[in-house]
Amino acid sequence: MRVRLWGGVLAPVFSLSLSTTAAPLQHPAEPVPLDRLFNNRAVSEPSAPTSADFDGAGRSLSARDLAAAGWTPARALTLDAARLRWPRTAAGRPDNVRADGQTVRLHGRGDALSLLVAATGGTATGSGTIHYRDGSRSTYRLSAPDWRTGPSATKAVTLPHINTPDGQRAERARLYAVSVPVARGREVTAVVLPRDPGPAADLHVFAMTVRDNGAGWTGSWGASTGGYAKAGPWSGRTLRLVVHSGAGGPRVRVRLANTFAAAPVTFGAASVAVQGAGGGAEAAGAPAPLTFGGQRGVRLPAGAEAYSDPLRHTVPAGRNLLISLYLPDTVTAAPTHGRSQQVSYVSAPGSGDRTGDRNPAAYPGTLTGWPFLTGVEVAGGPGTVVALGDSVTDGQGSTAGANRRWPDVLARRFRAQHALPRYGVLNSGISGNRVVTDRYPGDGVSTDVSGVSAQHRLERDVLARPSVRTVVLFEGVNDVRIGTPAHEVVAGLRALARRAHERGLRVVAATVAPCEGFPDCTAAVETRRAAVNAALRARGTDFDAVLDFDAVLRDPRHPQRLLPAYDSGDHLHPGDAGLRALGESVDLRALVPARP
């Protein structure tokens, strides 16, 4: 991954080049498992800080902090849909590879090579090679942020201390999960790590795997985590979250996430059900229990995700589902999606595990937002379209509980036709989100749940979604409203498109809708918005198609504002009619890759 500066935003860029012949190729050194190459000690106990030297200056990660985060030796960690394993070695023993061209034995097919990394001495960047069973190879560039000064917005986990020879210091340390593309359909057999650049920063690799990105699964419902916010407190209570299915299927799994958290969270039990005819927390039948690795519950480390085991349970398309999560321990903060436009439910204090209850009486409390839950996936289907956006995609301005967001309209249209693949549609909109800058800082409890930037969440909210085929980029109004120059917004959108293209996705951009009449939508904002849209309409090679959402929503007699019939009333967010017009304006063929 190479990091280029696009108008103030760090935009990762990957390269993938495949050889066209299986031979002759220079064979790598005999590959061996990663742990046999460990040549650096990164972790120490606070009582024995000199037993490790991560950065050459005697500093190291705290084993106690890692354990408190749930990152214990040999712990499997799902990060951005990739299952990585924290080294099984004890503190003070070699636990990572300082990269210098070593050849690692690795097997698998998928969409990406995922690595758990950190750099010392600054950001470390280098190139490596991926070898495949058929004799071909591809090259990649990989960048790892510094463990002490890297961004919190993209970290996998933050630890509160650093061990030094003089004792423990209250300074944050961070580890990162990064990925680079692999040739789809080819089996990886070995990975050559980047060479040590010399006196520059060192790249350290703790774990690596080939990510399969949900092959055989289609996204039915999804939400993006906007931040880590106060919650509850919930103790011995069950959440019953209401979500709306897009695609249906004969089997189901859910994705839970502890993104941005500093400590583990325990789910004692979970279930899925179709909402009953009476609505609310009523289940249409007995909720089906979910399992995780064969167990009723799961303890989720800080920053990690968990997928439930595949369950043979039919998910009907276009219906409300009830996902129930039992929290046996006290929870006072949670990763959450703030503006759900949907009421969900919570059981009474101390009521225990109510995941199996059909009766809505078990859930007297209500909540808005979706804590912990980020995905519902169904088996089969042709794949997924992801809408990456802000509040207009999130559905602000639509009728709560009615599922009238424009991605909901798009999902219904895909289900109603048979000429094209019947894709699932996932909504990765976050109200207040921006292309270029972060709203939520990436660490700590915050009242701002408008997310890290689209640049910083693309991996988690698009690339790591199941069997994703196409992404629709519909953001920018919040950037131009705060004064971000138009060329920086356009550069950010183009950087997103390049990264998605490198993963083989179709990329469709949408023009920014008008907002005159909203308090901060000044003439200067309109000038920047018009410049962004002019660049998008020019399209070039950056985007496979452009949706002119501005033209759909604007008042023909006053193009700087929304058509009154489409305005929710605040002059920024379309109401139900406007969102329906957006969803119906999309040519479905524009969302279908040439080779779906």
Residues 182, 145 share a domain = yes
- The pLDDT of 270-296, averaged and rounded, is 97
User: Which token pair is 387?
Assistant: 């809408």
Q: Residue 343: inside a domain, yes or no? A: yes
Q: Residue 271: inside a domain, yes or no? A: yes
Q: Residue 366: inside a domain, yes or no? A: yes
pLDDT value of position 540? 82
CATH of the domain at 398: 3.40.50.1110
Residues 519, 504 share a domain = yes
Does pLDDT of 586 surpass 50? yes
- Residues 120-129 have pLDDT tens digits of 999 999 999 9
Distances (CA, A) of 186 to 19, 119, 183, 191: 12, 30, 6, 13
User: Which token pair is 77?
Assistant: 């960690």
In contact, 427 and 222? CB cutoff 8 Å: yes
Q: Residue 119: inside a domain, yes or no? A: yes
Instruction: Determine the angle formed by the axes of helices 576-585 and 406-416, rounding to 10 degrees.
Output: 40
Cis peptide before 197, with omega less than 30 degrees from 0? no
Q: Pick the last residue of a domain from 332, 358, 376.
A: 376
pLDDT value of position 213? 81
Does pLDDT of 563 surpass 70? yes
- The pLDDT of 42-47, averaged and rounded, is 97
Residues 175, 272 share a domain = no
Residues 287, 168 share a domain = no
Please report which confidence band the pLDDT of residue 541 belongs to, taking 50, 70 and 90 as the band edges. Answer: confident
- Residues 206-261 have pLDDT tens digits of 999 999 988 899 999 999 999 999 999 999 999 999 999 999 999 999 999 999 99
Number of domain units in the chain: 3
The reported pTM is 0.94
Q: Pick the last residue of a domain from 360, 376, 392.
A: 376
Residues 401, 369 share a domain = no
Q: Residue 474: inside a domain, yes or no? A: yes
Rounded distance, CA 69 to CA 301, Å?
6
Residues 584, 438 share a domain = yes
Q: Mind spelling out the 3-state secondary structure of 474-541?
A: ECCHHHHHCCCCHHHHHHHHHHHHHHHHHCCCEEEEECCCCCECECCCCHHHHHHHHHHHHHHHHCCC
Q: pLDDT exceeding 90 applies to what percent of the chain?
A: 92
Domain boundaries, position 143: 2-211
Q: Residue 221: inside a domain, yes or no? A: no
pLDDT value of position 254? 98
Residues 540, 508 share a domain = yes
Helices (H) and strands (E) in the chain, counts: 9, 41
Rounded distance, CA 571 to CA 538, Å?
27
pLDDT value of position 596? 55
Rounded distance, CA 117 to CA 135, Å?
27
The half-sphere exposure of 28 on its side-chain side, counting CA atoms within 13 A, is: 25
Mean pLDDT taken over the chain:
94
Q: Look at residues 193, 90, 91, 199 and name the one whose alpha carbon lies nearest to residue 144.
A: 193
Q: Mind spelling out the 3-state secondary structure of 373-430?
A: EEEEEEECCCCEEEEEECHHHHCCCCCCCCCCCHHHHHHHHHHHCCCCCCCEEEEEEC
- Residues 387-428 have pLDDT tens digits of 999 999 999 999 999 999 999 999 999 999 999 999 999 999
Q: Would you give the DSSP letter of residue 583?
A: H
Residues 509, 574 share a domain = yes
Does pLDDT of 14 surpass 60? no
Rounded distance, CA 379 to CA 217, Å?
5
In contact, 212 and 377? CB cutoff 8 Å: no
pLDDT value of position 359? 96
Q: Residue 219: inside a domain, yes or no? A: no
Q: Pick the last residue of a domain from 316, 342, 376.
A: 376
Please spell the DSSP secondary structure of 217-270, one letter per residue.
EEEEEE----EEEEEEEESSEEEEEEEE-SS-EEEEEEEEE-TT-SS-EEE-EE
Residues 321, 410 share a domain = no
Residues 234, 157 share a domain = no
pLDDT value of position 23? 34
Q: Residue 187: inside a domain, yes or no? A: yes
Residues 345, 259 share a domain = yes
Residues 193, 295 share a domain = no
330: which residues sit within 8 A by CB, 6+ positions away?
Answer: 232, 233, 234, 235
pLDDT value of position 13? 36
Rounded distance, CA 435 to CA 361, Å?
43
Report the relative pairing of strands 468-474 and 384-389 from DSSP bridges: parallel
Rounded distance, CA 456 to CA 450, Å?
13
